[in-house]
Amino acid sequence: MPSMGTLFNFNPPQKPILETVEIVRNLELDEPLRLFATQPFQPSRSEVYFNDDYIPIKYKPANTPFDEYISEHKPNIIIITKDGWHLKDDESWLAFQQDPEILGYKKLPYNGGDEFGAWWIYQQE
């Protein structure tokens, strides 16, 4: 008989994902978590990781510069893959990687990774 995980096509989160979730949960946020994220933390998965104070921010449209999208939606946490494949040609993303303070963020001291690659966590200052 197949396991429940096999029946529902569910694989438990890997250690780096759980570590990242724990870091975000332990942050002293003054307001609900507004998360902009890519794999493996996209909105369809993140709601199971975070509590009721979680507000997902949907994917950035391809024709919208990263800085404009972030300024408009004001996430307080950004979790994004280091390669930023969907942002690789966005000059404001490249500038943000070099200096997240230009948009009012700081890079947290954690570099996670799994089958989706490595990622960074940024917190709004």
Query: In the chain, where does DSSP find H-type helix?
Result: 4-7, 15-25, 43-46, 66-73, 91-98
Pairing outcome for strands 54-57 and 33-37: parallel
Q: What is the pTM of this model?
A: 0.76
Q: Is the pLDDT of residue 121 over 80?
A: no
Q: In what order do the strands lie in the sheet with 117-124?
A: 54-57, 33-37, 77-81, 117-124, 105-114
Tell me, what's the pLDDT at 113?
58
72-107 per-position pLDDT tens digit: 999 998 887 766 667 778 899 889 888 999 999 998
Residue 110's pLDDT band (cuts 50, 70, 90) = confident
